[in-house]
Amino acid sequence: MTRPQVYITRRIPERAFEVLREHAEIKVWDSDLPVPREILLKEVADADGLLCLLTEKVDAELLNAAPRLKVVSNMAVGFDNIDVAECTRRGIPVGNTPGVLTEATADLTWALLLAAARRIREAIDYVREGRWITWGPMLLLGQDVYGATIGIIGMGRIGTAVARRAKGFNMRILYHDVRRNEAAEAELGAVFVDMDTLLRESDFITIHTDLNPSTYRLINREAFAKMKPTAVLVNAARGPIVDTEALYEALKEGRIFAAALDVTDPEPLPADHPLLQLPNCMVVPHIGSATVTTRNRMAEIAALNVLAGLRGERLPYCVNPEVYERAAG
C-alpha cells in the first residue's frame, strides 16, 4: 500500500518527525528560511498532508495546487495565514496548536512590558556606548509597574495568563473582549470595560486578540489619542492589529511613553525602518513561543493533527470543526 505524503514547510523540531515517520513519507523544506512560493506550489502537488507555519499563505491558489490534500496543520495557534473558509468549502480540516504556547507567550509579553517600562534597551545601549559615568538621579527614568493599571485587549488563553502575572504586581486589571470572561473576572478580579475606558485608564496596554477583520488596525490614530502620555503599549499578538504609521507618530511625538513589539506590520520589519530608530520602541523578532519545550510541544501537536487528518479522524485541535458536520450531513 502506498504511504501518504506529508509536506513540511520548514526545519522544525524532531518531535514532529518522530510522530509522523512510521506513518507517512515526509518531505521537508530543510531550511531556516521560508520555502519560496513557487516551490511550495509544486511540492504540494502530491501532498496528502501539509504541516505549515504562519509564514505560509494557504489560499485557494495553494489548495488548487494540492488536489490530494486531506489536512492543513499550522504549527501556531494563530491561523490568519490560512483561508479557513476555503478549506472548509473543500472539506479540509485545519489544525492549530493552542494552549501549549500560552505561558511562554505570556512570559515574553511580560519581558517586553517590564523592559519598555524601565527603558532596558536604552540602558543597555548607554552602558555599551561607554556613557555610564556615574549614578544619575535623573538618569533613564521609567514608569512604575507595581500597582499600576493594565489593560488587556483580548482576554482569551494568553490574555488570561498575562493577567495572572499582573496579580503578582498588584495591578488593577481592566480588559476588553468581544465576550465576557467571567472565569477571569472571578479568579483575578479583572474588570470588563469598553475600549475607550481601557485606552484612557490603562498605564500598560497589551494586545492578545487574534487577527480578524474586527481587530485589523484596532489600535489606530484615534486609539493613540485616547491613551495616557505615560502609557506603554505591548503587542505580542499580530502586527496588523496596530497601525504602524500611527504608532510611529505617537512614539515620535511623545503621545505615549513607549512600545514593545514582538510582531510588526510589515513583518519582518526592514532594518532601516524608522520605528527602529526610536529610543522608546523595542522590537523583537516574533519570539513569543520561542522556548525549547514550547516549540517541541507545538511540533508534536502539529504532527498529531496531520496524522489524524491522514487517517480521516477528527483533528485533536481543529479550527473548523464545521467541516465534520458538512461531511456528516
Ligand X SMILES: NC(=O)C1=CN([C@@H]2O[C@H](COP(=O)(O)OP(=O)(O)OC[C@H]3O[C@@H](n4cnc5c(N)ncnc54)[C@H](O)[C@@H]3O)[C@@H](O)[C@H]2O)C=CC1
Ligand Y SMILES: O=C(O)C(=O)CO
Stretch that binds ligand Y, among 76-84, 162-170, 240-248, 268-276 (CB under 6 A): 76-84
Q: Which is nearer to ligand Y, 82 or 173 (CB)?
A: 82
Which H helix or E strand runs over 157? helix 157-168
User: What is the 8-class DSSP label of residue 313?
Assistant: P
* CA 25 vs CA 13, 14, 315, 324: distances in Å: 17, 15, 19, 26
Establish if 98 lies at the interface with ligand X (CB under 6 A): yes
* Euclidean distance between CA atoms 89 and 324, whole angstroms: 11
- Give residue number: closest CB to ligand X: 156
* Euclidean distance between CA atoms 75 and 266, whole angstroms: 21
**x-marked contacts with ligand X along 11-50 as a string, rule CB under 6 A:** ----------------------------------------
CB 79 within 8 A of CB 319: yes
Q: How far is the CB of 221 from ligand X (least distance, A)?
A: 18
Stretch that binds ligand X, among 20-28, 120-128, 223-231, 285-293 (CB under 6 A): 285-293
User: What is the 8-class DSSP label of residue 14?
Assistant: H
**x-marked contacts with ligand Y along 91-130 as a string, rule CB under 6 A:** ----------x-----------------------------
Q: Is residue 201 annotated as part of the catalytic site, yes or no?
A: no
Going by their DSSP bridges, the two strands 204-207 and 191-192 should be labelled as unpaired
* Euclidean distance between CA atoms 283 and 275, whole angstroms: 9
Q: Is residue 267 annotated as part of the catalytic site, yes or no?
A: yes
Catalytic member of 208, 238, 295, 297: 238
Annotate 101-131 with b (16+ C-beta within 10 A) or e (fewer). Answer: bbbbbbbbbbbbbbbbbbbbbeeeeeeeeee
Which H helix or E strand runs over 249? helix 244-252
Which of ligand X, ligand Y, none lies near 24, with the C-beta cut-off 5 to 8 A by kind?
none
Stretch that binds ligand Y, among 41-49, 74-82, 187-195, 252-260 (CB under 6 A): 74-82
Report 59-88 residues binding ligand X (CB under 6 A): 77-78
Q: Please report, as ranges, the residues that interact with ligand Y according to CB under 6 A.
A: 54, 76-78, 101, 288-289
Catalytic site residues? 238, 267, 286
